[in-house]
Structure 1
Amino acid sequence: MNHQEMTDRIATGQGFIAALDQSGGSTPKALAGYGVEEGAWNGDDEMFALIHQMRSRIVESPCFGNGKVIGAILFEKTMDGESGGKPVPERLAERGIVPFLKVDKGLEDEVNGAQLMKPMPDLENLLARAKAKGVFGTKMRSVIKSNDTAGIKQVVRQQFAEGARILAAGLVPMLEPEYDIKAPDRAEGEIVLRDAILEGLDALPAGQQVMLKLSIPVEPNLYKPLIDHPAVLRVVALSGGYSTDEACEKLSQNEGMIASFSRGLLQDLRHQQSDEEFDSTLGAAIDKIQAASVA
């Protein structure tokens, strides 16, 4: 797929984006969920090798390439690895799946009810490597913990500022100002977040587009103005700690919003499963998430 074909696939594809981007800090938890307990590896290299085996098993599963997964978000080490004997981004594109790269370096401490992203001084070099490998877009995450207007606006400003660097490199940024689903004031805060994002979208130069990855809103269809905005290629939802069933039920109430789940996709996969059991379990999750995305 060339860049335009990938753009069309993301804009109109009747599927969802898989989040396979657990980084160093979250990898032990992801492996534990997969049935690999801490102590089964010695050092980071062995840990990352184990998580890469899991991701490659997912990518090579027959159901992963059945058209229902239209994109996949990768961790940097996964982007640099291989699956099916080919570089992962190339293998994904070969299977009709648009590759994205997680580019943020983690979160700052909470200030004004929000956690901004840590600085990314080497971002341009990483973007150049990603583009050379055939990556289409990026993803970067901030977290909002409470309805503090100053904090929410800081998060959104930073997301758009870093997004401008990504657009300048020829990639499509997926902005992820996650709203913690446990926040008691989330319903009110999501209205502030939506309006701040709309301001950022309106300020983009003509012809530029971004993607948005957001928590499934308390009020269904709250983000419809974002979905309909000409500067938005697609709006995707994170599962945010919900189970697969919960996330799918809530997502299905939001017209035009598709999934980009991690836990919601992987929660029932175990390394002890036979290939038949693994493919059946993964296929059931893919079917459920895709159905919720196109509901």
Structure 2
Amino acid sequence: MPARGSTGRLRAANAIWLALAGLLLVLGVVASQAGPPGRVALYGGMICAGGTALGGLSCMVLPFMQVLNRYLLALGAGIMLAAVAFSLLGPALALVPGSAFPVVPALIAGALALLVLDWCISNAWRHGGRDDTSAAGMLLLAVTLTLHNLPEGLAIGFAALSPVRDDVLAWGIAAQNVPEGYLVGYALMRAGFARATAVAAAIASGLVEPLAAVTATHWVLSEMALAAALACAAGAMLAALMALVMPAIAWQDVTHRRWLAGAVCLGFALLLALDAGLS
């Protein structure tokens, strides 16, 4: 008779594969029905999902290395900071020239919404212990990272509605998603799941983004409402960086702290250069 833990993992693995198949099916239907803004959003969302998938696939060949993962996250954090500034807040302010309304209130609202979501998830996790390495604990980590992809997907969709198409945001999110996909895959492998199932979970977590991006393009928004939506997405992404990514790269060693700070700055500079090159 199989152990209870093994049975639970088998059910969870089946659910992961079913979720991946369902997401791919829904994505195919959405892609066939998408209009011009939806196709732009879908393209950007798939770039983001590709970064997550690449990170997940790396679990097949790379062992988990804490040092490497922190540096990848630091580089991704710098890229995301630049993407928030130049691809979300910049266009949002351009839509309402000469005014900080509704950009500032929406930025704060988006950050608060993400922090409340993180608090709810952390509260649920704390019942099993935040350092829980069981299948349930690792699955919750994967769910947390998946939910973190929602505001990024919405940001891609809102950006597709803005007058200027900007692929820099999508590439910036994709770069930051590589270590996240790696974390999802590693978390499930650590919980005892097969490598293929761990990769499937990472790919599924990334497919949330193109679906959210296309969904956002179906909302009819005025220029002011679009500015608020972009700022809200920017606030959520900033809060995610501060609450989820930055603590993951924190290091007590002073030398590593300096190099990690340099990696954040390098990521910011890379996206700034990419933005200038594509402008």
Above 0.5 in TM-score?
no
After TM superposition, the score normalised by the length of structure 2 is: 0.25
After TM superposition, the score normalised by the length of structure 1 is: 0.24
**In proportion to residue count, which structure has more helix?**
2
**In proportion to residue count, which structure has more strand?**
1
Flag the structure with more relative contact order, 1 or 2, with Cα contacts below 8 A and sequence separation at least 6: 2
